[in-house]
Amino acid sequence: MSTLKPASAADAEIPPRGNRLAGRVVLLFGGGSVGEGWGNGKATAVAYAQEGAIVIAVDRALDAARETEVIIAELGGRCVAMQADVTNSASIQAVVETVLDAHGRIDVLHNNVGTTIMGGPVELSEEEWDVVLDVNLKSAFLTCKHVLPAMLRQGRGAIVNISSMAAIRYTGYPYSAYYAAKAGVNQFTVGLALQYARQGIRANAIMPGLMNTPLIYQQIGSQYADIEAMVQARHEACPVGRMGTGWDIAHAAVFLASDAAAYITGVCLPVDGGLTCKAT
């Protein structure tokens, strides 16, 4: 399919209510969506709220975060929309301080923000390289810098970083900065996991495969003759016969953030329908 359903609380894919994260405070960066439909961040914010979490949905575009807030409210959950630039330390610090003032703790930090710019070292400008590294990798460093002190005081916390299968293999797209940034996210996550394991803090990464989210129509579509060709090619490339959705990432994130994953840390988990198992 080449179009995505508008996101609303009536969407049948929304998971049922649960209590795996009851009362937990989740700070999610990238909680809006770049267009109609269910991006990874929006779906994950809703899934967290459906499990009883208090979700702070942060996005560069406040309107996008507020759309998530409205959906969660319609479902009877708790969400507060906030705005921040994840490449700016002061902007992130202000959000973290506001959340701590309101709730006294941050139980889950979820880093969902990402971007791609097509081009190898010859085609990319230095400024474009910096944008991709800053948005995908520096952002995780900055959010952890400001959230980890609170988690250390609490003696517990869970960090979920959204990486990509591009961190570990060539995907066919010419985006060298994205490969480098997501590989950095993986090893940054592993380092966090081992450094803070004895302090009760877990850190894991999710590596989405070929996803059917609003982002691909904006940032990947130019690599194909037309959108229908892109959608068909990506579906066919997946061993299970379809691209993933934001809900596939959301379910994995809820598990990794919950106590069901209490003995899991330092994992870079493919959520890709078997794609990374393929030789080509």
Task: With a cut of 90, say whether residue 183 has pLDDT above it.
Answer: yes
CB 50 within 8 A of CB 22: no
pLDDT above 90: residue 221: no
For residue 6, how many other CB atoms are within 10 A of its CB?
11
Which residues are the active-site residues? 178
Q: Which residue has the higher pLDDT, 11 or 93?
A: 93
pLDDT value at 237 more than 90: no
Q: Which of 112-116, 155-159, 186-190 has the lowest mean pLDDT?
A: 112-116
Q: What is the mean pLDDT of residues 167-180?
A: 93
- Contact, 96 vs 85, CB < 8 A? no
| Per-residue confidence (pLDDT) for residue 95, from 0 to 100 | 98
Superfamily of domain 25-272: NAD(P)-binding Rossmann-like Domain (3.40.50.720)
What pLDDT does residue 104 have? 98
Q: How confident is the model at residue 210 (pLDDT cuts 50, 70, 90)?
A: confident
The residue extents of the domains of the chain are 25-272
Mean per-residue pLDDT over the chain, rounded: 91
Percent of the chain with pLDDT over 90: 78
Q: Per-residue pLDDT averaged across 200-229, rounded? A: 80
- 152: tokens are 């250390």
Q: How confident is the model at residue 3 (pLDDT cuts 50, 70, 90)?
A: very low
Q: Are strands 25-29 and 54-59 parallel, antiparallel or unpaired?
A: parallel
In the predicted model, is pLDDT for residue 222 greater than 80?
no
- DSSP character at residue 36: S
- DSSP per position, 44-58: HHHHHHHTT-EEEEE
pLDDT tens-digit map of 34-82: 667 788 999 999 999 999 999 999 999 999 999 999 999 999 999 999 9
pLDDT at residue number 6? 43
CB of 87 closer than 8 Å to CB of 111:
no
